[in-house]
A and B are shown apart, each in its own frame.
Chain A
């Protein structure tokens, strides 16, 4: 991905407020507030993200304190830490990662994307 399409909070930055993005956002420093996005959020190794996060996908190598919701996948890597609730369609959790909170993962999870219904092939639903 071109660097120009990426929103980056630098490692020496402290951002307070609400962040909205479409493609990719990368938190290298500190973030307080709320994050909404359609694309992927990257929380890097030394980052601290005190925020309620609602994104398409997320990859956590640093610390997240707040609820984390993703329509697609959440990757919690070995150095990653989450204190808050996780809701996602898919989740990968590496050995060594840390997570304290409620976990709901799967297409039926409230924030997860539900798969499109299978085509019925013109059949009528059975009458009760």
Chain B
């Protein structure tokens, strides 16, 4: 399940994380310009494999999925992934917003969370963080094919 490369085949519906406008993109699109706000948005998946360190940075946002591998680490103040987050490594953030969070047995997680659903395996470590599950502040629940991989 984890680290399964998400290959979108057909066109898919995404929601801009800047203006919440919904539009369709090609299955393999990585980034595009939002027709609602004309700003560039990332719609592809972010896959961190090996001992990759992403960050520390201010924000990491995508309309797709974020996958953090076993030795990988993601550090950002704000993380938003409409397609879900799968973590076997480390995520350190101040605030995380996603449709679905999956924490593997060796995952280490820190960050206030708003998610529609969370799946946590025994062994995952969570540093003190505020959880709000299920929570859908940006209306991802009715997004067609939300989180399809």
Contact = CB atoms under 8 A, between A and B. Distances in A.
Majority secondary structure of chain B interface residues (helix, strand, loop or mixed): strand
Size band of the interface chain A makes with B: 20 to 34
B131 interface: yes
Interface in A70-118: 73, 90-106, 108-109
Contacts of B53: none
B128 A98 contact: no
A96 B118 CA distance: 7
A100 B126 CA distance: 15
Contact of A104 (B100, B118, B128, B132): B128
A118 B118 CA distance: 33
B18 interface: no
A92 B123 CA distance: 8
A80 B119 CA distance: 13
B133 A100 contact: yes
Interface in B112-130: 117-130
Given A95-B117, A96-B117, A73 B129 contact: no
B26 interface: no
B131 A101 contact: yes
Interface residues of B, number: 19
A27 to B, nearest CB: 22
B139 interface: no
A41 B117 CA distance: 24
B134 interface: yes
Given A93-B118, A93-B119, A94-B119, A99 B129 contact: no
A104 B130 CA distance: 9
Contacts of B100: 95
B69 to A, nearest CB: 20
B112 to A, nearest CB: 9
A88 to B, nearest CB: 9
A91 B124 contact: yes
A93 B125 CA distance: 12
A18 to B, nearest CB: 27
B120 A104 contact: no
14 contacts: A90-B122, A91-B122, A91-B126, A92-B122, A93-B118, A93-B120, A95-B117, A97-B133, A101-B130, A102-B128, A102-B131, A105-B120, A106-B126, A108-B125
Interface of B: 100, 117-134
